[in-house]
Amino acid sequence: MSSTGSPARRQRRVLAGAAAAAALALTATACGPEEAPVDPKPSATAEQPGQDLREELGLPDKLPEDLPAALQDLDKWRNGAWKNWDREDWLREAREFINPIIEDYWDPDRMKDAEESERDVDDSEIDEGVTDPEPAAVEAEEVPLPYTENAPPVGKVLMETPQGPMVCSGTVVKDPANPGKSNLVATAGHCVHAGEKGGWFRNVVFVPHYNNGGLAPAELGKGAPDQVSPHGIWWAKHARTTTHWIESGASTGGAGAPQDFAMLKVQPENKSANGGKSLEETVGGAVEIDFGTPGVQSIESLTANGYPAAPPFSGERMFRCTDGPGRLTLDPSQPTMYRIGCTMTGGSSGGGWLSADGGRLLSVTSIGPLTHDWLAGPRLGDEAEGVFDAVSSLS
């Protein structure tokens, strides 16, 4: 589609492999003006956990004062009854991310059943600013098996949402604060936070090189854990997304997409079996994020990687598309996005866009059309770098 002339109106779909997903930014701005008010005082029965219990449950040093009263009973946390949390209340009330490790929660069967989600974008929203003609569709190709030998450090991001378990994709990235020992994962903002009218999701995990052996969908629920999650399951300990996504992101339309970026800091579910290794050491590598927002003329090609789950895909295999990028403007007040031809669908959201040499991550999948012929992702500039630095600095 060209930036000149009137674009045909047609429905667009965001590749929200995680329904405007959730996580881990620690900011009160996530609660939009229409959200239910929260009593700023903790329950009279609220208890602050000791060090041992905090470590056991993966809690922060202090429970947030605005934590819903139903979640302030630590016995319920310990006994697991809190898993029956009211999703709508949580999204309205929780301002601070709490994501305790639950061993065996994301078993192969639950992972298999996690779905992608959709939101529509109208073409009339992208007719201003610099927008190049729509690229020709590039057929997504399967990444060769096994992923541990042939794929970049990409995996699935899974989380619980009000609509049930959902999926996105993510990429292990380097952490200058911990050279060679990064625990950082790049993904999309809508894979960690619901945007303007929502909040944080629960049970957020990263599974690098998911389904390493390429099991068929019918086999995944019965697959051995080391086949489905060859590097283990990594629970999000911290994360951030951009203020623009928190304040403007929407479950319909393209709002927030130009800064649809997030970072996770993760920890292994099974720490004893992990032997103290970082995610980067466990997976065997990480890629560097390029926050320089290079122009499309200087980029030879970009390769989008991810686990598309909406038809005609089923979510069990990793795919990729390689194309020379063009430009897409959704909001003239926000940065122009990169766009490539690609037939991947929902579930690929958050997957990294890598440079031609595979060593740099320049974007993540954000949106795409209902016709499944292109993808667009944000340019990673100062705002994205601020998100990265904030998560990197957390212990």
pLDDT score of 2 more than 60: no
- Per-residue model confidence (pLDDT) at position 106: 64
Report the pLDDT averaged over residues 360-368: 96
Residue % of the chain over a pLDDT of 90: 50
In this structure, the dihedral spanned by the alpha carbons of residues 317, 322, 327 and 331, taken in order and rounded to 10 degrees, is 10
Lowest mean pLDDT among 5-19, 55-69, 262-276: 5-19
Of 189, 185, 161, which Cα lies nearest the Cα of 173?
185
Q: How confident is the model at residue 195 (pLDDT cuts 50, 70, 90)?
A: confident
Buried b (16+ CB within 10 A) or exposed e, 98-136: bbbbbeebbebeebbebbbbbbebebebbbebebbebbe
Report the pLDDT averaged over residues 248-257: 80
Of 347, 313, 283, which Cα lies nearest the Cα of 151?
283
Please write the tens of the pLDDT for every residue from 203-246.
889 999 999 999 988 888 777 778 899 999 999 998 888 989 98
Name the residue with higher pLDDT: 172 or 200.
172
Radius of gyration from C-alpha coordinates of the chain: 20
Q: How confident is the model at residue 307 (pLDDT cuts 50, 70, 90)?
A: very high
Lowest mean pLDDT among 92-101, 130-139, 381-390: 92-101
Mean pLDDT of the chain: 76
Name the residue with higher pLDDT: 6 or 219.
219
pLDDT score of 385 more than 90: yes
pLDDT score of 365 more than 50: yes
- Per-residue model confidence (pLDDT) at position 212: 95
Q: What is the DSSP letter of 13?
A: E
Alpha helices by DSSP H, listed for the chain, are: 51-57, 74-79, 87-93, 108-113, 147-150, 217-220, 225-228, 243-248, 271-274, 279-283, 382-392
Please write the tens of the pLDDT for every residue from 8-53.
323 333 343 333 222 222 121 122 222 222 222 222 223 344 555 4
- Per-residue model confidence (pLDDT) at position 75: 52
pLDDT score of 59 more than 70: no
- Per-residue model confidence (pLDDT) at position 15: 42
